[in-house]
Amino acid sequence: MIDFNTKLKILVVEDNPGDLLLLEELLFETNISIQEIKNVTLISEAKNILNSYDFDLIFLDLSLADSSGLDSFKDLYSITEKVPIIVLTGLKDSSIAISAIVNGAQDFLVKGEFDAKLLAKTMQYSIERKKNLENLRESNARYDLVVEATHEAVWDWNFAQDDLLWVGKGFNKIFGYEYANTVIPFQFWEECLHPEDKVRVIEKLQTSILNLSNHSWEDEYRFRDINGNYLYVLDRGYTLFDSENNPVRMIGAMQNITAKKLAEEELKKLSLIAKETVNAVIIASKKGEIQWVNEAFTKLSQFTVKESIGSFVQEMIFSEDTDKETISYLLEKVEKDLSFECVLLTRAKDGQNFWMKVLGQPIVDEKGKVLRYFAIGTDITRQKEAEETIINNERRYRALIEKSADGIFLVNKDGQIYDISSTGKEILGYEKDQDSTSKVGIEWIHPDDIEEIKNVIKEVASQIKQSDIQNAAIGCLTGHINGLKLRLIT
C-alpha cells in the first residue's frame, strides 16, 4: 500500500473546474500525504509536463478538448507506462474505461459515484498494483506463475498465419482440450462456436479488426468444450497494427461466465438461484440473516445448510482477520440498497481463512423495495497465494544477491547497470548506500579488455549460455585497477 510517510505528487488531467474542485476536496479528505497536485486540461499539456516532471499518480478524464475516449489513455500511457493511471469517467463511458484497464490503466472511478474512502482505497490499490506489475514485467518466472494462476484462456491470433496460440493451461482448465502453449488453426475456434452465435460473433470480430479508432473487441457467446457441452464465455481481444496501420495480430483472453449466465437466465424465470453454478451463493436479509445457500457454499465454508440458515453472515464467516474497511464498505452499500463488489477474507467452519471475490445485489419487489440480498462468491485463495509467492520470491532474490560473496551486476541490453550487490559496490569502491546504478557497465572495463568482453557478451546473448572470462581488468571508483574473473550469464 501507499507509504503514508511519503508525500505524493499527483497529476490531474481534467478540464472541468467543478470536477477538479470536487476531486481535490476528496483527495484532502483521504488523509493521504500529498506533496502537490498539478492540473492540466489537455493531453498535449500532460505530455509536456511528464517529460520534465515525475509524478506518483495520474487521474485522467477521458473527455478532453484535444483527445477523447480510449485514445486519450493510449496517448498518455505511451509515454508514462510506469506511473499508475486512474481513469475518471461518466456512467455512459464505463465500457471505454474498462477498455482502458485492459490496455494498462490501473482502475477507473465514475464521477459523482465515489467518496473519500473509495478514492483512498482506489489510490492505494492502483499504486501497489502498478508496482507489482512492474516487478512482474522484469521476471519471466513471475509471468509463468501468473498464467498458471489465471482462470482465463489467454490466446494470440496471428492473422498472417491464421492460427491461434493458446498460452498456458487456461484453455485446458476451462474447456478440457489438451492445448497448452500450442498453436492450432483458427478454423478450430470457428468450429467450436455455437451455431446460433457463429455468424453474429464472426461479423462483429471482423468489423472490430478493421476499426482503426478502437482496437478492442469484446463479445459473449457459447463455446463447445471437449465433452460437446457449450459454455458461455466472455471474450476480450486487442488488435495490434504494423507501422502502416495494417492489422497483424490480436491478443486476448476468454473467461468462463457460464455460472453467471445461468444465474441470469434463472432470475428471468423468477427463480432465485442458478443451481448449477460452481460459485458460492448466499441469499440473506438486509441485516445479514442467511435465508438460503447453495451446495457450493456449503462445500467452501464447511457449514451445512441447516447450520447456515438463520445464522448471520458477519458472525458465521467473518473473522478477526477480515478487513474492517471492507466490512464497513459492505454495510454501507447494503444500508443504501446498492450492489457491491469486493474481495473478502472469510473463515471456514474449521477456522481456516480463505479469500473470496464477492458480487452482491439487492432483490426488489415490483415497487423497487429491497426484499433481500443475494451474493455470489468466487474462491480466489489460490490467486492470492500466487501473488504472495511472487512477493516472497522477490524477497528471497534480494536476500540471495546481498548475501553472495561474488559481485553481482544486473545489466540491461544497453549496458546500463540497474542493480548491484553490496559486494559489487565494494569491488567498485562505492559505499553501501551510494547509488551506482546510473553507470554504464562497459565503462568500468579496462580499455585493453573491452573488445574481448564485447565479443563474449555477443556470443553469450546469441547462444543463451554462460561464459567465464579470465584476467579481465576492472576499474574502481578510487582509480585503482582490480584483476577479476568475470562470468556472464544471460
pLDDT tens for each residue of 329-366: 998 999 999 999 999 888 889 888 888 899 888 887 76
Q: Model confidence at 482, in pLDDT bands (50, 70, 90)?
A: very low
- pLDDT (tens digit, 9 = 90+) per residue, 138-159? 654 555 565 666 678 888 899 9
Q: Model confidence at 321, in pLDDT bands (50, 70, 90)?
A: confident
Q: Model confidence at 14, in pLDDT bands (50, 70, 90)?
A: very high
Instruction: Report the pLDDT value the prediction gives residue 268, as an integer from 0 to 100.
Output: 52
Task: Name the more confident of 247 and 433.
Answer: 247
Q: Model confidence at 24, in pLDDT bands (50, 70, 90)?
A: very high
The CA–CA distances, whole Å, from 208 to 93, 186, 203, 236, 276 equal 18, 17, 9, 11, 34
Q: Report whether pLDDT(272) > 90.
A: no
263-384 matches 150-256 in CATH topology: yes
- pLDDT (tens digit, 9 = 90+) per residue, 235-260? 999 999 988 889 999 988 899 988 77
Task: Name the more confident of 98 and 396.
Answer: 98
- pLDDT (tens digit, 9 = 90+) per residue, 277-313? 678 888 888 888 988 888 888 888 899 989 998 999 8
CATH H superfamily, domain 150-256: PAS domain (3.30.450.20)
Instruction: Report the pLDDT value the prediction gives residue 144, as an integer from 0 to 100.
Output: 59
Q: Report whether pLDDT(275) > 60.
A: no
Q: Report whether pLDDT(447) > 90.
A: no
Instruction: Report the pLDDT value the prediction gives residue 305, as an integer from 0 to 100.
Output: 87
Domain boundaries, the chain: 8-138, 150-256, 263-384, 402-489
Q: Model confidence at 480, in pLDDT bands (50, 70, 90)?
A: very low
**Region 402-406: what's the mean pLDDT?**
70
Q: What's the CATH number for 402-489?
A: 3.30.450.20
Q: Report whether pLDDT(1) > 50.
A: no
- pLDDT (tens digit, 9 = 90+) per residue, 90-143? 766 678 888 888 888 889 999 888 999 999 999 988 888 888 777 766 654 555
Q: What's the CATH number for 263-384?
A: 3.30.450.20
Distance CA 116, CA 28 (A): 8
Q: What percent of the chain has pLDDT over 70?
A: 76
Q: What percent of the chain has pLDDT over 90?
A: 28
Instruction: Report the pLDDT value the prediction gives residue 100, as an integer from 0 to 100.
Output: 86
**Region 400-414: what's the mean pLDDT?**
67
Q: Report whether pLDDT(191) > 90.
A: yes
Instruction: Report the pLDDT value the prediction gives residue 484, as an integer from 0 to 100.
Output: 47
Q: For the domain with range 8-138, which CATH number is right: 3.30.70.3040, 3.30.420.40, 3.40.50.970, 3.40.50.2300?
A: 3.40.50.2300
**Region 194-214: what's the mean pLDDT?**
91
**Region 16-34: what's the mean pLDDT?**
91
Instruction: Report the pLDDT value the prediction gives residue 201, as an integer from 0 to 100.
Output: 95
Q: Report whether pLDDT(193) > 60.
A: yes
Instruction: Report the pLDDT value the prediction gives residue 490, as an integer from 0 to 100.
Output: 44
Instruction: Report the pLDDT value the prediction gives residue 276, as an integer from 0 to 100.
Output: 60
> What pTM does this model have?
0.32
Q: At what angle do helices 17-29 and 116-137 cross, to 10 degrees?
A: 90
